[in-house]
Chain A
Amino acid sequence: MKFRLTKLAVLAFLTAAPAMASELVFPSLSYRTGPYAAGGIPYADGYADYFTLLNERDGGIGGVKTKIIECETGYNTEKGVECYEATKGEGALVYNPLSTGITYQLIPKVTADGIPLYTPGYGRTSAANGKVFSNVFNFPANYWNAASLAVNHLLDINGDDLQGKKVALLYHNSAYGKEPIRTLEELAKKHGFDLTLLPVDHPGQEQKSQWLQIRRERPDYVLMWGWGVMNQVAIQEAANIRFPMENFIGVWWSGGEPDVLPAGDAANGYKAVTFQGVGSEYPVFEDVQEYVVDKGLAAGAGDNIGTALYNRGFYAAMLMAESARNAQDIAGNVEITPANMRDGMEALTITEVRMTELGMPNFGPAFSVTCENHGGPGTGAIQQWDASAQTWSLISDFGPSDMEIIQPLIDADSNAYAAENNIELRCN
C-alpha cells in the first residue's frame, strides 16, 4: 500500500497544474503505435498540420493561437479514457479519437461534461440524430452513407439495375465492421441483390477461407469494411484469386495508401469510398509546404502529405477550425469554451465559396449542420487506385446517398438509445 502511495505522489507531481492560457486547445487522441498505427499516423499528422498552418500563417483562429495536445491511445479504450481525463482539464474544445470503441464510451461522458465529440466517418452512426445526441457530431458522412454510396456506385455501373447480382461484404468482426450490415440488408431488399456476409476476426492475417469462398461463389462485387492488417491481406488475397479489382470496393477506412502499396501492381484498379478530396493538388498544400514543412514543423515524419488518411485528418481539422471560428462569432468572444464550440459546430455552414477561400475548392461537400441533423449531407465519391502512378483519383462526383433507407435506421437506433438512457429529445 505504501508502495502505491509513494508512486501516486510522484504521479501527482507530474500531472499537476492544468494551465488555462488563452489558447484554443484541440486534443488529438492519436495512435502512432500498435496494430492500427499505419492508419493512425497519417490521420494524426493531417489533423495537427492544419492547426500548425493556422498558427503560422494566420496567427491562429481569430487571433488566438491553437494548441494541439497529442495523446497516444494505441487504439486502446482504457488509454483513451486516460487521455480524455488528462486533457479535458486543459480546456479541450473538441475530441476526435479515431476509434469506434473509444467513441462509444466517450459519448455519455462528453455529454455529461458538455464537450463536443467529432467523429467524421466513424463512431456511432446514429449519432447523426442531433435530437438525441446533443454533443456528438459526425458530419459530413457516416458508415451507413458509405454503404449506400458504394451501392449507388454499383447501380451506376450497372445501369441502375442490381437485380440478381451477388454482393459480398467482407468485414472486420467487431462493432465497426458490423455497422453497415443493416443498411446493406435494407438496400439488398430494395434493389434485389443477394448479400453474403463474410466476417474476418481480428487481426485478419489469415483470410484464406473467406477468399476461397469468394472464389467458389463468384460474387459480382465485394465490399470491404476493414482496418489495419486486414486491408492489406484482403487486397493481396483478392489479387491472388484474380478477383477483378475494379469490382472490389472498400469503405474509406480501407482506402489508404498503406493498404494498397504492399500488394504492388496487383492492387491496380481497387476502389474505395471517400468523403473528401484526394491528392495534394489543392492550393492549400502550397501553404502547408511553405509554412509548415519548410519550417520543419510538420507533424510526425512529414512524409504523409496528400495521402488519403492525411487528407481526411486535414479535412476534419479544417471543419473544426471553421466551427471554432463560427463559435467565436456566436459568442462574440475569441476565447471560447467547449459549450461555445458545440454551438459553433451545430450552426456550422460550409459553402463552396468558403472552401475556395481556404484553398480547398471541392475538397468536400457544401453543407450546413442543424440541431436535428448532426450528420451532414452524407455525400461521398469513389476513388480508384492507380498502381503505376501510386495515386488515388476520384472517378465520380460527390453524390448523395440513399437517405430514404438510412434516415429510418438512424431514427430507430437513436430512439432506442434515448429510451434506454432516458434522454429527452431536443430541438422541439
Chain B
Amino acid sequence: MPDQFLYAVEVIINGLMAGVLYALVALGFVLIFKASGIFNYAQGVMALFAAMTLVGIQKGQIPFAKLINTVMGTELEHFPWTVPVIPAIILAFGVMILFAIIVEKYILKHLVNQPEIILFMATIGLAYFMEGFGDIMWGPEIKKLDVGLPQGGSFWIEDMTIGLGGENFYGFFIDKLDMVATVVAILLVAALTIFSQYSKQGRALRAVADDHQAALSVGISLRFIWVLVWSIAGFVALVAGIMWGAKSGVQFSLSLIALKALPVLMLGGFTSIPGAIVGGLIIGVGEKLFEFSIGPLVGGATENWFAYVLALIFLVFRPQGLFGEKIIERV
C-alpha cells in the first residue's frame, strides 16, 4: 500500500481517538442540557476542579492552606498521609456530589423558569467562582496526575503494522492513553445507557428530560433529579479531567478543553448522548484529516477553526444537529 494512504489511515485512527476525548467533555454538557435545559459553561472548570481535587486528595494536601496561612499566620501544608488511587477517585467523586448539592441548593433552585440565556450566564458566574475557588483550595501550580494510566505509543501495534508500508513507514502510532480513554468512554456510555434505561432514577431522568411539568405532576422530584444529573456530570468531568490531565499535568489550561467540546455539541446536537459520541468522532477525524491534507498548504494550525466550520456546515443542513430533537416551532 502507498505510504501516503497509510499515513492518512493513521491520521484517521488518531482522529477517532482524539474525538473520543472531545466526546468525554461533551457528554457532561449533554447530560445537563438534556435534564435541565442549561448550557453549562462551567463544565470545563468542573473537569479542572475535579482533577485538582483528585490530586490534592491523593497527595494529602490541606485545602485552603495558603489562605489559612495568610490569615492565621500558620504554616500548614500537608496532612501526614497519602491516599491510594481508587479511594481518592471515590472521595473526589464525593466532593463532586457535594458540589452538585450546593449548586442545586444555592443557584438552580432560585433560577427555575428563567430564560436559557440567564441560566447560561449563571453557569458562567459559577465558572468564574470555581476557577478562583479551586486555585485557593489547592494552589495554582501545575500538578502531576498519577493514577497509573499507561502513556506512550503502543509498540505492539507498531510492530504488527510496520510491514504494511515502504521503508518510510514506521507502523501505526496509537497512544496507549487514548486506547484507555476509548475503553473508558465506551464503558461510561454503556453505564449511562443502562442506568437511564433500566433504573428507577434513570427513568425519572428521562421523564424530566421529556417534559418538566409532566414529570413534576406524576411526583418526580425535580430537585433530586438535578442533583443527580449534576453529580453524574461531575463524575464525567472527573473522568475527562483524569484523561486530559494525564497528558498535560493538572493546570489552569485544563478548563479550556470546554472549547474543544463545543463544536462536538453543535454537530451532535445538545440533547443526544450518542450524538456527542458520533459528533466527537466526526470532529476528531475531520480536523485531523484537514490539518493533514490542507494544513501544510495554508500554514497549519487550522484545527481550532476547522472544527467549528465543519460543525457550521453540518448545521446549515440540519439546524438541530445530527441527533438533536427536531425543533418544532409554533406561533
A–B contact at 8 Å CB threshold (below):
yes
Q: A258–B141 contact, CB under 8 A? A: yes
Q: How many positions in chain A have a CB within 8 Å of any CB in the partner chain?
A: 38
Which residues of A are found within 8 Å of B11, using beta-carbon distances? 209, 212
A209 to chain B, nearest CB (A): 4
The reply on A18 being an interface residue by CB < 8 A is: no
A216 to B295, CA, bound (A): 15
Nearest chain A residue, comparing its CB with the CB of B155:
A242
Q: A236-B248, A240-B153, A241-B173 are in contact. Are A35 and B253 (CB under 8 A)?
A: yes
B299 to chain A, nearest CB (A): 7
Q: B18–A199 contact, CB under 8 A? A: no
A205 to B48, CA, bound (A): 14
Contact residues of B between 172 and 214, Cβ < 8 Å to A: 173, 175
Question: Could you tell me the dominant secondary structure of chain B's interface residues?
Answer: helix
Q: B301–A201 contact, CB under 8 A? A: yes
The reply on A108 being an interface residue by CB < 8 A is: no
Contact residues of A between 203 and 243, Cβ < 8 Å to B: 203, 205-206, 208-210, 212-213, 215-216, 228-229, 232-233, 236, 239-242
B302 to chain A, nearest CB (A): 9
Q: A201-B304, A240-B151, A258-B142 are in contact. Are A212 and B252 (CB under 8 A)?
A: no
Q: B247–A233 contact, CB under 8 A? A: yes
A10 to B295, CA, bound (A): 52
B139 to chain A, nearest CB (A): 8
Which residues of A are found within 8 Å of B252, using beta-carbon distances? 33-35, 37
A205 in complex: contacting residue of B10, B168, B170, B253, CB < 8 Å: B253
Q: A33-B135, A206-B303 are in contact. Are A212 and B151 (CB under 8 A)?
A: no
Q: A239-B151, A241-B153 are in contact. Are A33 and B140 (CB under 8 A)?
A: yes
B152 in complex: contacting residue of A208, A216, A261, A266, CB < 8 Å: A266
Q: Give the top 5 A-B pairs by smallest Cβ distance, nearest first.
A: A262-B249, A229-B253, A199-B301, A209-B291, A203-B253
Chain B residues with CB under 8 Å of chain A are: 7, 10-11, 14, 18, 66, 135, 139-142, 144-145, 151-153, 168, 170, 173, 175, 244, 247-249, 251-254, 256-257, 260, 287-288, 291-292, 295, 299-301, 303-304
24 contacts between A and B (CB under 8 A): A33-B135, A33-B252, A35-B251, A197-B299, A203-B253, A205-B247, A205-B254, A205-B257, A206-B303, A208-B14, A208-B18, A208-B288, A209-B11, A209-B287, A212-B11, A229-B248, A229-B253, A232-B142, A232-B248, A236-B151, A236-B247, A240-B175, A242-B152, A301-B139
